[in-house]
Structure 1
Amino acid sequence: MARLSVNINKIATLRNSRGGNNPDLVQVAKDCERFGAQGITVHPRPDERHIRYADVFDLKKIVTTEFNIEGNCQEQKFVELVLASKPEQVTLVPDALGQITSNHGWDTIANQAYLQDIIKVFKDAGIRVSIFVDPVVEMVEAAATTGTDRIELYTEAYATQYLQNKEQAVAPYVKAAEVAHKLGLGINAGHDLDLHNLKYFSDNIPALDEVSIGHALISDALYYGLENTIQMYLRQLA
């Protein structure tokens, strides 16, 4: 069974919209774990429009499952943040400055030398590393040469195509995951996975370790409640 890591960025967005500390990000993280989540994910950005750098240290003190920090490792402040907070996992995402949300994986061929160097920095600090990749076999193969422990399959294309042709939508992910598994890489996935498409994805991806879900899960919680929503997502992964 793949593990569910809840991305709480949207909780921070809501909090920041009014100032103060409502909703309480730390309490929400505790509640997510209490309701069954097996990890907490945050994706701080330089403008701190949702997760603030101070949040990372507050969360590190209380997260008892797996703490996963996503972000752009080409930002030195991000690198320093991760090394100072030492989460269980760092997920390296090739975001541009000011980008609203992640929209592509690494070109692991063109950035091979850079990724080898930066991944070593994190692994030397005892932090497991995952890198964001598109479901392209060549990119997965090159990822295996970087020293990363895992890849995170970027699933927007799957989610977009799912309603039209789910077999076609999942096919490149199945192939990429098979290659990753043969090469000894762990497999995470995330972006636009939801209650409609998660089970089919999980059922068809071999050796899936973890999914990170934020926007859809938090949106569903407005209707179903946070505890019930987390349980609903866990059932999709069973």
Structure 2
Amino acid sequence: MNLNQHRRATPRTGPARRALRLGMLATAGLTVVATAASAEAATTSHVSHGVAVADNTVFSLANPGHPSQFQDAFTVHQYGALYDASAVNQAQAQAWACSAASPCRSVALSFQIITMAGENIHLNAQNTSHAADHDCAGCQTLAGAWQFIVSTPEPFTLSAAAQRQLADVHRSLDALGRSTAPVTAVQQQADALAAQVESILKAAAATAPKGPGVNALAAHAPVVTVHRMLTG
């Protein structure tokens, strides 16, 4: 089996590593969504001639004027057969200049799901998070980035049932924005949701076609890779 070159989803300058065959939702175009000056999410998705680019960034900023900020993103990118792909997922949370008497809370969470198909895809996958307090006594910050890469030998699309299950997880992720629990508890709940996503994707990938005339014993097995970065 041929292996692809895959840069590990740590810092952008991280070492190269083996890529997996991937299988992704067929999306194209550019979409940017901003919710507020203190919290925003931006998504870029483009595919053309076997080359795909997916970029998701979530940012949350808490300050005395906006003491509690939460922003999340849950994106699904499905592409067909590819030979080159770039996948970037970033979460950033900051808190500025709040007092110990009135501490701030800033949470940014990003779930990025990508599927592609092929056996010789060059993949650059980057998954990063950054959380910081600046002159902010007693503040809580949490940045979490989860990247799910589905690898299949032949193109497939997520079933309607799988998409409904993912939509349920998305609603649960949104609901964390109403939580007043410590950010450590929010992190645990987000990790539990990530585990649900992984389970859904593994079940979906198992149904992907093997290709005409392919011996089931010799076929490349679908793979779901999860990258997780948390700072706070």
Question: In which range does the TM-score fall when normalised by the shorter chain?
Answer: under 0.3
Taking structure 1 as the reference length, the TM-score comes to 0.27
Question: In proportion to residue count, which structure has more strand?
Answer: 2
Structure with higher Rg: it is 2
Question: In proportion to residue count, which structure has more helix?
Answer: 1
Taking structure 2 as the reference length, the TM-score comes to 0.27
